[in-house]
Amino acid sequence: MPSHHSNPSVGNEAQFGRIVTNLFLEDGWKVLEEPREKNVAPDFLMSRHGKKLVVELKRASEGRKDRLIPLLSQAALEAVHYSRVIPGHPVPVAIVGANRIPDSIAEEAKQFIRERVPEVAIGLLDLEGLRLFAGQGLESLSSARRPQSHLRPPKVRAPQLFSDLNQWMLKILLAPRIPDAYLSAPRGRYQGASQLAEAAGLSVMSAFRFVEEFSKEGFLESGPGVLQLVRLRELMNRWAAASQRRVLEIPMRWVLHRGQKALGNALRSYQSDQSMQSPNAADQFSSPRPRLCLGLFEAAEALDIGFVRGVKPYVYLERLNAEVLKDLGLSGDSGEKEADLYLRIPGNRESVFRGVVRKDGVPVSDILQVWLDVGQHPSRGKEQADLIWRKILSSAFESSEP
């Protein structure tokens, strides 16, 4: 049976990311997990007492000087670049990790960079306890090498396998198996957490956690260096079970009497108005106006896989907003019996809205989201989910290669 860490670099990459995260957390820093802009995806953003850091982390295959200094230089250059383009110009930090770094070589590498780019803070660390930091007040993170048996286990949060961002990364890894018409997501092959983070528009730390958690559960392998999901049917069952949390649903009525096409016209008009705006670069993944899309059975119908009729429509809305409801022509002054439709406010908003597809100008939940959402619905939801599985998902997931 193949190991879940058949590529050691994947496990080491995640391990060094975890070490860096815990070092900064224990020193009072907050790790910012905000979505990143395209082409601006540093490994970590940290903040404490109004001060921000942008951190680039590299892993060296060996602790030799000719390995460490080039990687540390590259990390420094990338950190300086990100510092210039990120609002607020956070302090650049370059870190390199290896299995073992001799003290003398770590000191030499540190001095090499400090003499040439003194504005960059430097960090070197290894799996035997070396922690050497210099510049910008980060010396407090340094500690002497200790025997492995004396190292404290890292303080980590209990993993949440199907968190919002993890679900989005799952969709990205599944995307090559699913036609574009059913899911909007990057389609590629990723050799580790860094490439996955870039494709997902997320922090490398988020991707580190994803790779580590899904590898431990036996759902992710990396053969030959490429991240690959395995045991897909079991994975999908676990995902479906984890998706049955209660979602805030709000009954809504049309302010004026509307016809059958009212909902599609309202969403199409809203989407058109939104696309005409020019959001700032920082808003590429978080639109100035709340995102929305068709959900559940109405979405299945829009994707030409509808089966259940007569259920009131569901619309996902990123957050409640009185102006948006007014633009859509909706009123919340109704009980369930009088409702024309239901608004759903998702807890996993990035996963829901980043995968949205557009049908005739209307934003529609992707096929994976529809399958997850309808499965436990009392109005023949299981039959709708089974139809989606049979006609679209099963053939894609049961093949060994996408």
Whether 191 contacts 207, CB under 8 Å: no
Residue type, 303: L
d(CA 399, CA 117): 51
pLDDT of residue 181: 94
Strand order in the sheet with 131-134: 30-32, 44-48, 51-59, 91-98, 121-126, 131-134
CA angle 31, 19, 57 (to 5 degrees): 75
* Tens of each residue's pLDDT in the chain, 402 residues: 333 333 344 446 677 888 888 889 888 888 876 555 556 678 888 998 889 999 999 999 889 988 899 899 989 998 998 898 888 899 999 999 998 999 999 999 999 988 888 999 999 999 888 999 999 889 989 887 765 444 444 444 445 789 999 999 999 999 999 999 999 999 999 988 889 999 999 988 889 889 989 998 999 986 667 899 999 989 998 999 888 776 778 888 888 767 667 788 888 888 766 654 444 433 434 446 899 999 999 999 999 998 888 889 999 998 888 888 888 888 876 666 778 888 998 888 999 999 999 998 899 999 999 999 998 888 888 999 999 999 999 887 776 555
Residue among 98, 129, 124, 131 at smallest CA distance from 8: 98
H or E element that contains 53: strand 51-59
pLDDT of residue 293: 93
Whether 344 contacts 248, CB under 8 Å: yes
pTM for this predicted structure: 0.64
d(CA 60, CA 188): 25
Token pair for 32: 């910012």
Domains of the chain: 8-150 (3.40.1350), 164-243 (1.10.10.10), 248-394 (3.30.460)
d(CA 192, CA 137): 31
pLDDT of residue 401: 52
Q: Is 377 exposed, middle or buried (0-12, 13-18, 19+ CB in 10 A)?
A: middle
30 Cβ contact partners less than 8 Å away, ≥ 6 residues apart? 46, 47, 48
Whether 22 contacts 60, CB under 8 Å: no
Residue type, 330: L
158 Cβ contact partners less than 8 Å away, ≥ 6 residues apart? none
241 Cβ contact partners less than 8 Å away, ≥ 6 residues apart? none
Residue type, 306: G
Whether 171 contacts 165, CB under 8 Å: no
d(CA 170, CA 214): 10
Beta bridge partners of 331: 253
Whether 96 contacts 65, CB under 8 Å: no
Q: State how far the alpha carbon of 339 is from the alpha carbons of 255, 267, 333, in Å.
A: 11, 18, 9
Q: State how far the alpha carbon of 235 is from the alpha carbons of 87, 215, 220, in Å.
A: 39, 12, 10
Residue type, 210: F
Residue whose pair of structure tokens reads 């957050």 in the numeric block: 319
Beta bridge partners of 229: 220
Residue type, 166: N
Whether 28 contacts 222, CB under 8 Å: no
Q: State how far the alpha carbon of 52 is from the alpha carbons of 44, 47, 88, 93, 140, in Å.
A: 10, 4, 8, 10, 16
